[in-house]
A and B are shown apart, each in its own frame.
Chain A
Amino acid sequence: MKFGVIVFPGSNCDQDVYYVLRTVLDQPVDYIWHTETSLKGYDCVVLPGGFSYGDYLRAGAIARFAPVMSAVVEFARQGGLVLGICNGFQILLEAGLLPGAMLRNNCLKFRCQDTYLRVENNNTPFTNRFRQGQVIKMPIAHNEGNYYADPETLRKLKERGQVIFRYCTPEGEITPKANPNGSLENIAGIINEEGNVLGLMPHPERCAEEVLGGTDGRELFASIIDWWPHRFRAGA
């Protein structure tokens, strides 16, 4: 399978994701410039973290108008895998590929720290190597990670198993104290209804090697690679 990492002006985790896919996981991967209009030939595209267009106006608000985003929408419609990390998640929300919106962290400050996440649904192309309910450790680094959705949307998300990660304590409890940014019901990552577009605030690429203090992030990418040969059977 082939990965693409989209480079928006101001993306700053593009090289990190590329490194993990290419060097750590030995996968074919290309950078995709924000002006590209086709994603033909790719199986999974990653919208990396960073400050696309400086996050001016609002995180992700300008990036959604980049030429490549029409191609991402089309790619997702055809069943391609889309992974939005941090700023990438914010862009997916702005582009309407995922429901809900991001507010500023409730502490009104940027937060860079490790968080614990509970895997709420392991039956996805992105999480199949985790156990249901498994507690994993992944760092966050953001200013706007305070996820919000209206009650109706939230109800549907939960009903359909679209909430994928929740911030939790090291023991796996969902508590206000374990929530680093005030996000609704400790939500850290969600998937679309079709199950092929995942957005999450934590950075899996920052914990994909032992030397960096953890490998839970590697498992997320490895899930995608494991799942790919079975895609027709599993159906995404």
Chain B
Amino acid sequence: MLHKPWQEMGLTDEEYERIVHLLGREPNYVELGMFAVMWSEHCGYKHSRPILKMFPTSAPWVLQGPGENAGVVDIGDNLAVVFKIESHNHPSAIEPFQGAATGVGGIVRDIFAMGARPIALLDSLRFGPLDNPRNRYLLSGVVGGISFYGNCIGVPTVGGEVGFAPCYTNNPLVNVMCVGLIERDKIQRGRASGVGNSVMVVGARTGRDGIHGATFASEELSEASEERRPSVQVGDPFREKLLIEACLEVVKEDLLVGMQDMGAAGITSSTAETASRAGTGMEIDVSLVPRREEGMTPYEVMLSESQERMLVIPKKGCEERVKEIFKRWGLEAVEIGKVTSDGVLRVKEGDRVVAEIPVRYLTEECPVYIRERRKPEFLSELWAYPLNELPEPSDYGEVLLKLLSSPNIASKEWIYKQYDYMVRIDTVVRPGAADAAVLRVKGTKKGLAVTTDGNGRYCYLDPETGGAIAVAEAARNLSCTGARPLGLTDCLNFGNPEKPEVAWQFYHCVLGMSRACNYLNIPVVGGNVSFYNETSGEAIYPTPVVGMVGLLENIDRRCTAGFKQEGDLLLLLGETRDELGGSEYLALVHGVVAGRPPQLELNLEAAVQQMVREAIARGLVQAAHDCSEGGLAVTLAEMAILGGVGAKITLDSPLRASSLLFSETQSRIVVSARPDKVGELEELARVFRVPFKIIGTCGGKTLSISAGLKPLLNLSLGEMEAGWQKMAVDLEG
């Protein structure tokens, strides 16, 4: 009796005992498999649930917070925006192309499960350094997979970010965010209510792919992970496109009680979750589920993660119309069972009951762990690193060029031009042109700004500050286009939460994010946790990724980052401090990841953001760009490159030049303005109590920066652009 099948499924002995206790008997094999996936970290959030409660989740404009397929916020005009981010890290580490492709497919289904038309995709990606061929393979596979799937389904990929650090070698991060638009009164819910209502599987047929994917996502990567390749699903974007159209047509005709994506844990999770939310039960017959393969067992059908499937619960009497619509789109819609009143998920194969579990046990009784938390010992040493003793570089211009060509900062055009970012003809601010992409909302004057952000290095050095900065920077990026942040979705990528140091990082990161959310009044409306991002026992940097959506009331008053006109004056909002800790400069030039990340003063952050939004709304600003990786010098260089106009800058500060140029002090935005608007801008800064300085003038074809009378650097637009594009040339030839 040494064989313990639950261990292979990822359950501990204690968890198995809990199942036996709940059921009052031993579970059979099918039931055990269902518990294993529903109680996996991926579905059950057993290590994160209590901590996630710290997030603020409500605001007057929130129509749906966490707990559904995706969050929903109101934008007026009877319209609402639906959005969510999700990880597909583990599958992408093994099979980058399909891993990333199905990551796109899954998050898109979450959005139209709410009844919304998907209108935008964003990807937040992390890889190890590109001098390693495996990392290059992962990068090109992931980008190729996103391009393959996203382009085909006709949803524009408008934004995202790509970062590189050694800790992501062999454990890339692939976080995909989807944004959808819906009329408020059309919002669907993943609820199986109405006893006697039919339960249908629609879309693709069920095969043996992806069995135990959710369990796989809840363990560390290792040498043996390659054997998990069959856990990675294969995507069919063409079928997904048909599924989108068919589902939206069914929603338009108001034929449904509920709808749910079949993502992780397939039929098991979608039936359990929809019944659980409605407080009902469900009886299904697996022999009715359309199959791709012969001879599948009930266990395989219940745990398959075949893609492009949805569970729908039609209103009584609407079943035939639902089938008709799916048929028109070349898709199957098959009744597999009924909603019941007894709160039990009963799975039959013909007449034989193969599983019988009270729904609540699967969704509510998942154990919750509060692990021991311990501050990592390495932190004290990193914090004590004598940053002040590092030598000043001899050539600041050379350093700026080096920073511009760093993969973390360099232009990502070579990536996003592989994505269709224009389809649906709403992309008003394209990727790369501003701190966030902006989409118009047809039929209104409104626009939506969208972004993803996260700095793993900051979180590694100080998770609380890093977490807060992730939220603040995302909001700042939206503000730089003129948009007011409405809400965020988070993807929390961490190592093994059973390790006290990782548990500590997770707790403090969420704490920092929550503080920033509360202060900036940005609710968290959904998200995803990805633990066990470790390879051979080495964890990634704690990497929370924030996806954020903001509203522009008037799309004509939108702002981009490139300089617009010779003669415009440049203002720096906020103040530069000596904060090189955790900076790109430090890592790139000195090879050091140490110190404390820049501090974040939330009151100043809020003021700077409010002011820049107000200035843009009043039409006072020509361009705006925040200071982030690489500091003020990189911000100015990017504005110059994007606008094709140089600038002459004079900084007046007692700080050493390296800090003045490359410190990553938060809450700073560079704006350009016509000289006749500067007075009003200065007045606005005083009203919002934002410190500011006029630092220079746009003009010419070079960027020159001096500290007082001392010239620091002088670079031509051409050499800066060549540096900024160098990565593309190196990789693409």
Could you say which of B154, B241, B422 has the most chain A C-beta atoms within 10 Å of its C-beta? B422
Per-residue CB contact flags for chain B residues 494-538 toward chain A (1 = under 8 Å, else 0) read: 000000000000000000000000000000000000000000000
B588 at the interface (CB under 8 A from A): no
Could you say which of A10, A19, A49, A143 has the most chain B C-beta atoms within 10 Å of its C-beta? A10
Shortest Cβ distance from residue B154 to the other chain A in the assembled complex, whole angstroms: 3
Report the Cα distance A149→B427, complex, angstroms: 34
Per-residue CB contact flags for chain B residues 427-453 toward chain A (1 = under 8 Å, else 0) read: 110100000000010100000000000
Report the Cα distance A16→B442, complex, angstroms: 11
Q: Which chain B positions have C-beta within 8 A of A110?
A: 147, 151, 418-420
Q: Which chain B positions have C-beta within 8 A of A53?
A: 238
Per-residue CB contact flags for chain B residues 393-436 toward chain A (1 = under 8 Å, else 0) read: 00000000000000000000000111111111101101000000
Is the pair B238, A54 in contact by a Cβ cutoff of 8 Å? yes
Q: Which of B237, B417, B425 contacts A16 (CB 8 A)?
A: B425
Report the Cα distance A206→B156, complex, angstroms: 12
Is the pair B153, A12 in contact by a Cβ cutoff of 8 Å? yes
Is the pair B154, A13 in contact by a Cβ cutoff of 8 Å? yes
Is the pair B424, A15 in contact by a Cβ cutoff of 8 Å? yes
B365 at the interface (CB under 8 A from A): no
Is the pair B152, A113 in contact by a Cβ cutoff of 8 Å? no
Is the pair A212, B428 in contact by a Cβ cutoff of 8 Å? yes
Report the Cα distance A227→B419, complex, angstroms: 35
Q: Which chain B positions have C-beta within 8 A of A109?
A: 147, 418
Q: Which chain B positions have C-beta within 8 A of A54?
A: 152, 236-239, 241
Is the pair B330, A9 in contact by a Cβ cutoff of 8 Å? yes
Is the pair A50, B154 in contact by a Cβ cutoff of 8 Å? yes
The closest CB in chain B to the CB of A16 belongs to B425
Is the pair B417, A51 in contact by a Cβ cutoff of 8 Å? no
Q: Which chain B positions have C-beta within 8 A of A113?
A: 417
Is the pair B422, A141 in contact by a Cβ cutoff of 8 Å? yes
Q: Which chain A positions have C-beta within 8 A of B416?
A: 112
Is the pair A211, B152 in contact by a Cβ cutoff of 8 Å? no
Is the pair A211, B428 in contact by a Cβ cutoff of 8 Å? yes
Q: Which chain A positions have C-beta within 8 A of B442?
A: 19, 23
Report the Cα distance A211→B447, complex, angstroms: 11
Q: Which chain A positions have C-beta within 8 A of B427?
A: 212
Given contacts A10-B242, A50-B154, A51-B237, contact A141 B420 (CB under 8 A): yes
Per-residue CB contact flags for chain A residues 200-236 toward chain B (1 = under 8 Å, else 0) read: 0001011011011100000000000000000000000
Q: Which of B236, B237, B417, B440 contacts A211 (CB 8 A)?
A: B440
Q: Which chain A positions have C-beta within 8 A of B440?
A: 211
Is the pair B425, A10 in contact by a Cβ cutoff of 8 Å? no
A55 at the interface (CB under 8 A from B): yes
Report the Cα distance A206→B425, complex, angstroms: 6
Q: Which chain A positions have C-beta within 8 A of B242?
A: 9-10
Is the pair B152, A51 in contact by a Cβ cutoff of 8 Å? yes
A65 at the interface (CB under 8 A from B): no
Could you say which of B417, B428, B440, B442 has the most chain A C-beta atoms within 10 Å of its C-beta? B417
Report the Cα distance A19→B416, complex, angstroms: 25
B329 at the interface (CB under 8 A from A): yes
Is the pair B238, A10 in contact by a Cβ cutoff of 8 Å? yes
Per-residue CB contact flags for chain A residues 53-65 toward chain B (1 = under 8 Å, else 0) read: 1111000000000
B555 at the interface (CB under 8 A from A): yes
Is the pair A206, B422 in contact by a Cβ cutoff of 8 Å? yes
Given contacts A10-B241, A54-B238, A56-B238, contact A112 B422 (CB under 8 A): yes
Q: Which of chain B's residues 366-385 have a Cβ closer than 8 Å to chain A?
A: none
Shortest Cβ distance from residue A23 to the other chain B in the assembled complex, whole angstroms: 8
Is the pair A9, B418 in contact by a Cβ cutoff of 8 Å? no
Q: Which of chain A's residues 20-78 have a Cβ closer than 8 Å to chain B?
A: 20, 23, 49-51, 53-56
Report the Cα distance A213→B423, complex, angstroms: 14
Per-residue CB contact flags for chain A residues 131-156 toward chain B (1 = under 8 Å, else 0) read: 00000000101010000000000000
Shortest Cβ distance from residue A102 to the other chain B in the assembled complex, whole angstroms: 16
A111 at the interface (CB under 8 A from B): yes
Is the pair B423, A13 in contact by a Cβ cutoff of 8 Å? yes
Report the Cα distance A53→B242, complex, angstroms: 10
Q: Which of B236, B241, B417, B425 contacts A212 (CB 8 A)?
A: B425
Shortest Cβ distance from residue A12 to the other chain B in the assembled complex, whole angstroms: 3
Q: Which of A51, A111, A112, A205 contacts B425 (CB 8 A)?
A: A205
The closest CB in chain B to the CB of A56 belongs to B238
Report the Cα distance A50→B422, complex, angstroms: 12
Is the pair A12, B423 in contact by a Cβ cutoff of 8 Å? yes
Shortest Cβ distance from residue A214 to the other chain B in the assembled complex, whole angstroms: 11
Report the Cα distance A20→B442, complex, angstroms: 12
Given contacts A16-B424, A139-B422, contact A211 B555 (CB under 8 A): yes
Report the Cα distance A16→B427, complex, angstroms: 12
Shortest Cβ distance from residue A47 to the other chain B in the assembled complex, whole angstroms: 15
Report the Cα distance A111→B417, complex, angstroms: 6
Report the Cα distance A110→B417, complex, angstroms: 8
Report the Cα distance A55→B427, complex, angstroms: 24
The closest CB in chain A to the CB of B428 belongs to A211
Per-residue CB contact flags for chain A residues 103-116 toward chain B (1 = under 8 Å, else 0) read: 00001011111000
Q: Which of A55, A111, A112 contacts B152 (CB 8 A)?
A: A55
Report the Cα distance A139→B15, complex, angstroms: 56
Is the pair A12, B422 in contact by a Cβ cutoff of 8 Å? no
Q: Which chain A positions have C-beta within 8 A of B147?
A: 109-110
Given contacts A110-B151, A112-B417, contact A9 B423 (CB under 8 A): no
Report the Cα distance A206→B152, complex, angstroms: 17
Q: Which chain B positions have C-beta within 8 A of A209?
A: 425
Per-residue CB contact flags for chain B residues 546-560 toward chain A (1 = under 8 Å, else 0) read: 000000000100000
Q: Which of B329, B420, B425 contacts A9 (CB 8 A)?
A: B329
Q: Which chain B positions have C-beta within 8 A of A208?
A: 425
Is the pair A9, B154 in contact by a Cβ cutoff of 8 Å? no
Given contacts A9-B238, A141-B151, contact A19 B420 (CB under 8 A): no
Per-residue CB contact flags for chain A residues 67-110 toward chain B (1 = under 8 Å, else 0) read: 00000000000000000000000000000000000000001011
The closest CB in chain A to the CB of B140 belongs to A109
Shortest Cβ distance from residue B523 to the other chain A in the assembled complex, whole angstroms: 30
Is the pair A112, B329 in contact by a Cβ cutoff of 8 Å? no
Per-residue CB contact flags for chain B residues 318-334 toward chain A (1 = under 8 Å, else 0) read: 00000000000110000
The closest CB in chain B to the CB of A17 belongs to B425
Is the pair A112, B154 in contact by a Cβ cutoff of 8 Å? no
Is the pair B423, A16 in contact by a Cβ cutoff of 8 Å? yes
The closest CB in chain A to the CB of B443 belongs to A23
Shortest Cβ distance from residue B665 to the other chain A in the assembled complex, whole angstroms: 34
Q: Which chain A positions have C-beta within 8 A of B329?
A: 9
Q: Which chain B positions have C-beta within 8 A of A107?
A: 732
Q: Which chain B positions have C-beta within 8 A of A141?
A: 151, 420, 422-423
Q: Which chain B positions have C-beta within 8 A of A55?
A: 152, 238
The closest CB in chain B to the CB of A35 belongs to B328
Shortest Cβ distance from residue A20 to the other chain B in the assembled complex, whole angstroms: 8
Is the pair A203, B422 in contact by a Cβ cutoff of 8 Å? yes
Shortest Cβ distance from residue B644 to the other chain A in the assembled complex, whole angstroms: 13
Is the pair A112, B241 in contact by a Cβ cutoff of 8 Å? no
The closest CB in chain A to the CB of B433 belongs to A213
Q: Which chain B positions have C-beta within 8 A of A12?
A: 152-154, 241, 423
Q: Which chain B positions have C-beta within 8 A of A203?
A: 422
Shortest Cβ distance from residue B447 to the other chain A in the assembled complex, whole angstroms: 9
Is the pair A112, B421 in contact by a Cβ cutoff of 8 Å? yes
Shortest Cβ distance from residue B397 to the other chain A in the assembled complex, whole angstroms: 29
Report the Cα distance A223→B425, complex, angstroms: 21
Per-residue CB contact flags for chain B residues 127-154 toward chain A (1 = under 8 Å, else 0) read: 0000000000000000000010001111
Report the Cα distance A178→B152, complex, angstroms: 26
Report the Cα distance A53→B428, complex, angstroms: 29
Shortest Cβ distance from residue B57 to the other chain A in the assembled complex, whole angstroms: 34
Having A10-B242, A112-B421, A208-B425, one finds 6 other A-B pairs with CB under 8 Å, namely A51-B151, A51-B154, A110-B147, A112-B420, A141-B423, A206-B423
**8 closest Cβ pairs, A-B complex:** A12-B154, A54-B238, A51-B152, A141-B420, A16-B425, A110-B418, A110-B147, A112-B420
A-B contact pairs, 12 of them (CB 8 A): A9-B329, A10-B152, A13-B154, A109-B418, A110-B151, A110-B418, A112-B416, A112-B418, A209-B425, A211-B440, A212-B425, A213-B430
